[in-house]
Amino acid sequence: MTVRRTLQAVGAALAGAVSATDTAAPPADPRAVRDLLADIGLLHPRAPEAEMPLVLCRFQARAGLTIDGIAGPRTVQALTRAAREARHMRSLGLAA
């Protein structure tokens, strides 16, 4: 996933959160979420779509977020941070 796509996903999620009134922000782009989950090694890039909510729940539990299987703004922000850290660790040769 490119930095630009990551920033677009985060920006879209945050924009929804900022502009939302009493309703929840819409979930992020599923392709971007899939790429982020693949970056951190929780989802195989060719995994079926049906696995995404379960994998999101696992990530949310690990990150201390509300476990709902939906890629809302906080989940996308945490995913983006985790993916950035995972890429950095790989660049240092500290992760597989």
Q: Is residue 86 within 8 Å of 41, Cβ to Cβ? A: yes
* Structure token digits, residue 44: 């195989």
**Residue-level pLDDT at 38:** 93
pTM: 0.69
**Chain length of the chain:** 96
Q: What is the pLDDT along the chain (96 residues), one digit of tens a residue?
A: 566 666 666 666 655 555 444 455 566 888 999 999 999 999 998 999 999 999 999 999 999 999 999 999 999 999 999 999 999 998 999 865
